[in-house]
Amino acid sequence: MFSEANVYFFLIPSNAAVNSVSGAAIIINGLVDLPISLIALIINAILIILGFLLLGMNFAFNTIYSCVLLSVFLALLENLFPDFSSFTGSAELDVACYVLLVSWLQAVIFRHNAASSGLGVIAQIMNKYLRIDVGKAMSVVGLVIALCSGFVYDGKTVALSVLGTYLNGVAMDHFVFGQNLKRRVSIITSREEELRDYILNEMHCGATIYRAEGAYTHGQYPELVVIVDKAQYQRLMNYVNKLDPDAFVAVYTVSEVSRKAWISN
């Protein structure tokens, strides 16, 4: 119900069509005098039927629960707060609040490998028949919905819809991947043994040592590679700067680390 409340209290007052079935329902509501909850139900029903026909029974049943709940809770909120206008009194702030909350919710749903809306059906259909990545397909669908708001609302609303759709993707990436970002640090130093001892015994991290060869001099150098989180990265860099200010350091961003046991015979 939290997601539906977010739609009702922040998205609908702004009239912004941000990357969702609710956004499409807001546009249609500007053309026909029907409750947004009913329009969303009709749209989701059509999408579920398409999913059933083109993607199979399992996909349709996996998405029907969240799609129906959207309309049910929106209808409930419409009856409980029939004259609600806006918490903030600003369309810009309403869209910002909606994007932050919906991105976090979508990230939670994504982590649990579940579907969040009927638009996922369109993305999956585009992926299956047009070979478009699901993420790109969702972006395309969201952009089309945002631009379609121009047929009903003014330029400011269109701009908010497009900007909100873009920021939704950025914020979702942050919530999905940003919290688990790590650093892959590659270090070449003449004091490799001391650095290795610090990493293993003080930081309690694992490390890998490669033998690097200089392309010009053909000199052999030990390259120590370690993957650390943000706090560990600061500790490591502080130590390296004190230990060997002339050390060669290369840092890469890592979004996911998979740990598997190594078995040797």
Regarding whether 63 and 51 lie in a shared domain, the answer is: yes
pLDDT at res. 264: 42
Domain holding 164, by residue range, is: 2-179
Q: Are both 169 and 198 inside the same structural domain?
A: no
Supply the CATH number for residue 230's domain: 3.30.70.120
- The answer to whether position 263 is within a domain reads no
Entry pTM: 0.65
Bridge partners (DSSP) of residue 223 are: 188, 210
Q: Please indicate, yes or no, if residue 264 is contained in any of the structural domains.
A: no
Residue 244 has φ and ψ, to the nearest 5°, of: -150, 90
Residue 262 lies in a domain: no
Task: Note the Cα 239 to chain centre separation in Å.
Answer: 34
User: Domain ends where: 131, 161, 179?
Assistant: 179
Residues linked to residue 210 through DSSP beta bridges, in sequence order: 223
- Tell how strand 208-213 and strand 220-228 pair up: antiparallel
pLDDT along the chain (265 residues), means of 10: 80 87 91 91 87 74 70 89 87 90 73 59 81 75 90 92 85 68 90 93 91 85 90 92 93 75 45
Identify whether the C-beta of residue 124 lies closer than 8 Å to the C-beta of residue 50.
Answer: no
Task: Tell me, yes or no, whether 36 and 155 share the same domain.
Answer: yes
Determine the pLDDT at residue 49: 85
> What's the pLDDT at 47?
85
Domain termination residue (choose one: 137, 157, 179)? 179
Indicate whether 140 and 9 sit together in one domain.
yes
pLDDT of residue 1: 60
pLDDT of residue 113: 47
Task: Compute, in degrees rounded to 10, the torsion defined by CA atoms 73, 76, 80, 81.
Answer: 60
- The distance from CA 110 to its chain's CA centroid, rounded to whole angstroms, is 8
Predicted local distance difference test score (pLDDT) of residue 21 = 87
265 assigned to some structural domain: no
Comparing CA positions, the residue from 97, 169, 100, 174 lying closest to residue 135 is: 169
Q: In total, how many domains does the chain have?
A: 2
Answer yes or no: is 224 within a domain: yes
CA-based diameter of the chain, in Å?
Answer: 78
Q: 190 and 110 share a domain?
A: no
Q: Are residues 101 and 159 in the same domain?
A: yes
Among residues 157, 179, 201, which one ends one of the domains?
A: 179
DSSP letter at 96 equals: H
